[in-house]
Amino acid sequence: MNKKILFTILMMFCIYAGYVYSQINIDNNTTETSNATGSDGTLVSETVEKIKIECSEIANTTTKNIFRNFDPKQYNKNTEYKVNNAITRVWYNSFLTAFKKTWKKRLEIQFAKRQITLEQYAQIAFEVRHYARIFIRSHMSDVNGLETIKARDFEKYGSPDGPSFKVLLDRQLEKQKAEFEKANPEQTFEEKLDLDTAYVSIIDSSTRTNSAVNLFIKCYKFASESMCNYLGSYLASYMDAM
């Protein structure tokens, strides 16, 4: 057979093989993304449940080591079991720290491997923090402080339980628009909002706590319950305490 013809056939085969391989990769990537999306939100809810269990155990241990009279079993099962604001804040910080140091790293790896989408990552991070917020509030002995916090959240977010995922997302998008208009006063803003940036902001804020409140907690965590609750109520009146 003519060498020129043979070379042509070989080149055509290589091109065809490359095309087939590229299509296989596209199909695999599409499947991975599709599986990660999950319209029913099962992946998100199941992941959140696992995080709640693991991080709660770590928060229970940390809090018990600081406050010897703290009862983790009662705290997890009995909403009638109330604690002061110092214990509340330590548990809350410990829970979010555990999430940051363990699960956030796992989620970043899953996102890199296309096992979850960035939107799902943001939803998981939001749900975890929201759970921690609602959970600790259900055990607060400081009734006045709790009412102050709920009133503040209602005024700020339209809900006594704090912002929803949609509210946070809309705020991030509004922030993008405001920053664009400030930097480009003579240009008209086009609806080209960056959802990925908004998702990343929600993820970053999910483990961020108020450093000023944390400092006050360190100062009075061994004080009397009445003093803890008084300072907690005072802080809650003007800070994002819980």
138 in a domain, yes or no?
yes
Residues 119 and 89 in one domain: yes
Number of domains in the chain: 2
50 in a domain, yes or no?
yes
Residues 20 and 102 in one domain: no
Residues 60 and 12 in one domain: no
Residues 102 and 112 in one domain: yes
Residues 48 and 22 in one domain: no
169 in a domain, yes or no?
yes
Residues 136 and 70 in one domain: yes
Question: In this structure, are residues 146 and 137 in contact, taking their beta carbons and an 8 Å threshold?
Answer: yes
- What residue has token string 């997302």? 169
Q: What is the pLDDT of residue 2?
A: 59
Residues 118 and 63 in one domain: yes
Question: In this structure, are residues 124 and 107 in contact, taking their beta carbons and an 8 Å threshold?
Answer: yes
242 in a domain, yes or no?
no
Helix (H) or strand (E) holding 40, with range, is: none
The helix/strand/coil state of 191 is coil
Q: What is the pLDDT along the chain (242 residues), one digit of tens a residue?
A: 556 566 566 656 555 555 444 444 434 443 333 344 444 478 999 999 999 999 999 999 999 998 889 999 999 888 899 998 888 989 999 999 999 999 999 999 999 999 999 999 999 999 999 999 999 999 999 898 899 999 999 999 999 999 999 999 999 988 888 888 888 887 776 666 788 999 999 999 999 876 655 655 555 545 455 555 555 555 544 444 44
- What domain range includes position 5? 1-37
CA angle 161, 162, 165 (to 5 degrees): 115
- Give the integer Cα–Cα distance in Å for 2 and 216: 87
Residues 29 and 50 in one domain: no
Residues 13 and 87 in one domain: no
- 229: closest CA among 117, 170, 167, 147? 147
Residues 103 and 25 in one domain: no
- Give the integer Cα–Cα distance in Å for 146 and 164: 19
Q: What is the pLDDT of residue 35?
A: 41
- What predicted TM-score, i.e. pTM, was given to this entire model? 0.73
Q: What is the pLDDT of residue 85?
A: 85
Q: What is the pLDDT of residue 227?
A: 54
29 in a domain, yes or no?
yes
175 in a domain, yes or no?
yes
Residues 86 and 199 in one domain: yes
Residues 230 and 111 in one domain: yes
Q: What is the pLDDT of residue 165?
A: 95
241 in a domain, yes or no?
no
**Which tokens in the block code for residue 211?**
């450093």
Q: What is the pLDDT of residue 22?
A: 46
